[in-house]
Amino acid sequence: MNLDQINSMDKETFVASLGGIFEHSPWVAEGAYSRLPFRSVEELHQVMLDTARGAKRSQVEALLKAHPDLATRLAVTPLSAAEQQGAGLDRLTPEEFERLTELNCSYTGKFRFPFILAVRGKNKDDIIQAIEERVHRSVEEEWEQALSEIGRITSFRLHDLLADVPNGEGASL
């Protein structure tokens, strides 16, 4: 898919195509639709981020809560599963799984949303270290960090989905 195709979509198709970029939150794509056309993937991403950040606090909180715990044994979206597998979270030792489960519980108990981290380029040790450090932050600091991580995650997802080629030139993904 490329940007020209995105720019020519009706709202229903646009939301169906981009609604999964922000975890279980198609309202972000729906809100971004009114800003068509987009000149770049970066502009589309920024509009989607602005839509998410500009929502009511309860809606942003729902977005944060829509993210799965890392290394959970529960069902996750295909995008989340692929991202976690790439970081080796599907290959944790029983001890690592237990430690990450404990950290996830502590984190969620304190912040009331799951630990969110863009795991691309990271390994399981990086992830465990990050949650060990971040669980000690203030709620305000961690709210902002979680939104920043969502920005990284969604940027990866959009760039994976779209070829940033102006005017339909070049190959599309």
Please report, for the domain that includes residue 29, its CATH number: 1.10.3330.10
The predicted model scores a pTM of 0.83
- Who contacts 72 (Cβ-Cβ below 8 Å, separation ≥6)? 104
**Residue 69 pLDDT:** 77
Query: In this predicted model, what pLDDT tens digit does every residue of 91-132 receive, in sequence order?
Result: 778 888 889 889 999 999 999 999 999 988 888 889 899 999
Asked, for residue 158, whether it belongs to a domain, the answer is: yes
Identify the burial level of 22 via C-beta atoms within 10 angstroms of its C-beta, where 0-12 means exposed, 13-18 middle and 19 or more buried.
buried
Is residue 136 annotated as part of the catalytic site, yes or no? no
Query: In this predicted model, what pLDDT tens digit does every residue of 30-64 receive, in sequence order?
Result: 999 999 999 999 999 999 999 999 999 999 999 99
What's the domain count of the chain? Answer: 1
Asked, for residue 66, whether it belongs to a domain, the answer is: yes
Q: What is the mean pLDDT of residues 9-17?
A: 98
Asked, for residue 95, whether it belongs to a domain, the answer is: yes
Average pLDDT, the chain: 86
pLDDT confidence bin for 71, thresholds 50/70/90:
low
Marked catalytic residue, from 45, 67, 136, 159: 67
Instruction: Report which of 73, 86, 66, 84 is spatially closest to residue 26, judged by C-alpha positions.
Output: 66
Asked, for residue 13, whether it belongs to a domain, the answer is: yes
Asked, for residue 173, whether it belongs to a domain, the answer is: no
The Cα 111–Cα 74 span in angstroms is: 20
Q: CA angle at residue 110 from 77 to 79, to 5 degrees?
A: 10
pLDDT at 167 over 60: no
Three-class secondary structure of residue 54 per DSSP: coil
Q: Which residues constitute the domain of residue 7?
A: 3-168
